[in-house]
Structure 1
């Protein structure tokens, strides 16, 4: 069993509790919530075995084949000035098959 982290420049290249993902049984998926400024971020999902927390692995989640197929779910939210909630204004699923 492993722990999973959102890893990249947005996490200052560290794996810690701030960017650790947790399993959500409702979605049957690992999720994370991070505060980010508007912009473009490159990131990867890093795994670390629970029995060896100082060892990290990109291949388990990211794969190591350049011909891998990838699916991305893109959610776009908007918050009106003065409101205390976000509205989902766009969604797209993108499949990249090389």
Structure 2
């Protein structure tokens, strides 16, 4: 699974040891998804959003979108690992601001 997440132009880029790349961009979750409203992140692969990540308190929720089924090379465990690594980067950036 080994993903590496680093800051990229307008968000983050996750690269896997076998060469796969996914892009993570900040989004705003709208009120129609009541418990999910607020800031979040979209994980995109091959230009299509495949998952949505949002953070609450000290936890993260990863919601795979319907398009993720079209890409079996990125599993649910991969998405969770990307979210965990993204959370570490967010924490480090927040600590740097304080």
Q: By the TM > 0.5 criterion, same fold?
A: no
State the structure with bigger RCO (CA 8 A, min sep 6), 1 or 2. 1
Length-normalised TM-score, structure 1: 0.28
Q: Which has the higher helix share?
A: 2
Length-normalised TM-score, structure 2: 0.28
